[in-house]
Chain A
Amino acid sequence: MDLQSGFITVTLRSHVTPSACIEGLELGKKMQIRLAADTTVRELAQKFFSQNMNHIGFIAVNGKIAAENTILQEGDAVDIYSLISGG
């Protein structure tokens, strides 16, 4: 935990290729990233997917669909899901 320095660490897993570089990210594999404390779901998406937000279907936090204004907490698991139509 790094709260005193104003940062949190969350686990990120994405099914959308980010438009910004996230070193070490592979589709569908979890990795840890550091974010500013009080980062919202919307802000995380804008930080890494600003050029392809339309590829994102929804974002889940800790296994449940999350509102855009959800403030991320230390240790949260964030999943970025694409618009998957198959099955």
Chain B
Amino acid sequence: MQKFLRVKMDSKSPVWEDVKEEYALFGGRGLIAKILNDEVNPKCDALGPENKLIVCGGLLNGTLAPNSGRLSVGGKSPLTGTVKEANAGGVAGQMLGKLGIKAIIVENKPRDNEWFILKIDRNNAELLPADKYIGLNNYALTSQLRKEFGEKTGIISIGCAGERGYRNSTVQVTDMEGRPSRAAARGGLGAVMGAKGLKAIVLDATGPADTHYVDKEKFREAAKNYIAAIKADQVAGHVFPALGTAVLVNMVNALGALPTKNYSDGRWDKAENISGERLAEVQRARGGGAGHICMPGCAVSCSNIYNDENGNYLTSGFEYETITLNGSNCGIDSLDTIARIDRLCDDFGIDTIETGGTVAVCMEAGKIQFGDGEGAIKLIQEMIDGTDFGKILGQGTEFAGKHLGVKRIPTVKGQNMAAYDPRGLKGTGVTYATSPMGADHTAGNSVGMPKINHHKKEGQVEISTNLQVAMATVDSLGMCLMAALSPMADPVNVGYVCQMMAGKYGGEWDPDRLFGIGVQTLALEKAFNKAAGFTAKDNRLPDFMYKEVLPSTGSVFDFTEEELAMAIPF
């Protein structure tokens, strides 16, 4: 039977709780929304004791389902002030499932500014003093923790950014090789973890999983069919394993939606230099490249290893968003430089999307020039060093942009947009505007939708709504979106997911019931935001997106408030 592990940091007491029946069909993102509504004051200070840090897997976590071990991290966001769920690959998600943990709920804060490691194994959960680990960034930290607690442990950790309360800070997760290269990146949840005095969670899930199924054979059959569907899928089974998500660089550039020089254009003549195709070519010679698996049970292998020019490991999980925000959006066309930025971000524990956006507003303000890769690294180093200006940058793009007097600040609800200009990809623009998470492409990205004109607004509200429901469902199941969106475009494969839910939880499952999970999740998230003080007027892109024509497409973002109000009407 799955348990909640409630960790009260003021009394230093981890306590196991039975899970109430009403939580049975909540998981991942949906579970976080439910707990936040039930237990957290929406108007609380996100970095104060009233907020809670929630760490959990999804409804299919710990099962035989492929790609079902995503780790969800949530709380009220210090960056956006909204509900927040960010999820990551790596090994920790599945370990929670193996340990029978439905969620870890971290509350309050230590009385004397103490720091702790939360160590969990099959028999015990305990808070251990973390004094000797404070001041370490993620790579050194996880290396030491694995020496102390074993190479087979999974680690969820924060770097110094989270310790210092940077609002762009991440929660990092170790991958199959024990490297902290996977990030629950968005919304500053590293700072929430830091505010709880929690430096890391160390999971030891040695031993067999004890997962309960209502009908295991039914589940196994559906999982087998779904794996076959992934392998046969053109994108999940062929393109991603060969080229990774960076394959999107040339594609989005051709669409005219590639963020370029702080969203001043959507097409860049140097895009080829930072493309997935170039990355594959460079890494073939250096012994790195695509086809890497970041978590157990992955049937896609879209991750990669990026080696430096000497063939030594530099970073992994080097994704399209990171490459574009820190590449074309900053005018930087060196993959080696962007990979160094990615490594610094993972190590210090900051969001690569927010970081690229922040560096770009500095460039627009004239602090450094577009294209100045070493200058970009120096700005990130200022965050790491904790200089006065570095602390400003660590509060995110909107804070830094306003400080510098920049007019083109690409944020919604305080969060930097991802690597799709919403004037050139309007369905994703609707998602940026209306998602309860703030500007977040993983909440519903229209780039893969067939037979639509992405530069026109017709039909985009409906497309965004359908995608937001689908993504809220996938995030609640704990599935990786790379294994979900493309295969689940086929109703037959949706049927396999329904069959897995029936095999796991019993009862009849059809697509309406399955995607009802997403509708329920979005409704809970909107309720939390409304109680926190957000209104329809917050569902808006920055002014320049409505007024400045994107040169690559000749379009602006032209949705009215009334039109946007039609999105996710739950």
> Could you tell me which A residues sit within 8 Å of B by CB distance?
13, 15-17, 27-29, 52, 54-55, 57-58, 60, 63-65, 79, 81-87
Q: Assign chain B's interface to a size class.
A: 35 or more
Given contacts A82-B239, A86-B485, 9 further A-B contacts (CB under 8 A): A13-B277, A65-B256, A79-B254, A83-B489, A84-B235, A84-B239, A85-B445, A86-B240, A87-B420
Q: When the two chains form their complex, are residues B254 and A65 in contact, meaning their CB atoms are under 8 A apart? A: yes
Bound complex: CA A55 to CA B250 (Å)? 17
Is B13 an interface position by the 8 A CB rule?
A: no
Interface of B is mostly: helix
Tell me how far the C-beta of A12 lies from the nearest C-beta in chain B, rounded to whole angstroms: 13
> Could you tell me which B residues sit within 8 Å of A by CB distance?
234-235, 238-240, 242-243, 245, 247-248, 250-251, 253-256, 267, 271, 276-277, 280, 302, 319-321, 418-420, 441-442, 445, 447-450, 481-482, 485-486, 489
Q: A84-B248, A86-B482, A87-B441 are in contact. Are A65 and B418 (CB under 8 A)?
A: no
Interface of A is mostly: loop
Closest to B242 in A: A27
* B486 CB contacts on chain A under 8 angstroms: 83-86
Q: When the two chains form their complex, are residues A85 and B235 in contact, meaning their CB atoms are under 8 A apart? A: yes
The 9 closest A-B pairs by CB, nearest first: A85-B448, A60-B254, A85-B485, A83-B448, A55-B234, A81-B251, A28-B277, A28-B243, A27-B242
* A17 CB contacts on chain B under 8 angstroms: 234, 238
Tell me how far the C-beta of B485 lies from the nearest C-beta in chain A, rounded to whole angstroms: 4
Bound complex: CA A56 to CA B238 (Å)? 14
* A54 CB contacts on chain B under 8 angstroms: 450
Q: When the two chains form their complex, are residues A63 and B251 in contact, meaning their CB atoms are under 8 A apart? A: no
Q: A17-B238, A28-B242 are in contact. Are A84 and B254 (CB under 8 A)?
A: no
Question: Quick one: which of A13, A15, A82, A86 has the most chain B CB within 10 A?
Answer: A86
Q: When the two chains form their complex, are residues B448 and A27 in contact, meaning their CB atoms are under 8 A apart? A: no
* B445 CB contacts on chain A under 8 angstroms: 85-87
Closest to B253 in A: A63
Q: When the two chains form their complex, are residues B254 and A15 in contact, meaning their CB atoms are under 8 A apart? A: no
Q: When the two chains form their complex, are residues A86 and B277 in contact, meaning their CB atoms are under 8 A apart? A: no
Tell me how far the C-beta of B467 lies from the nearest C-beta in chain A, rounded to whole angstroms: 9
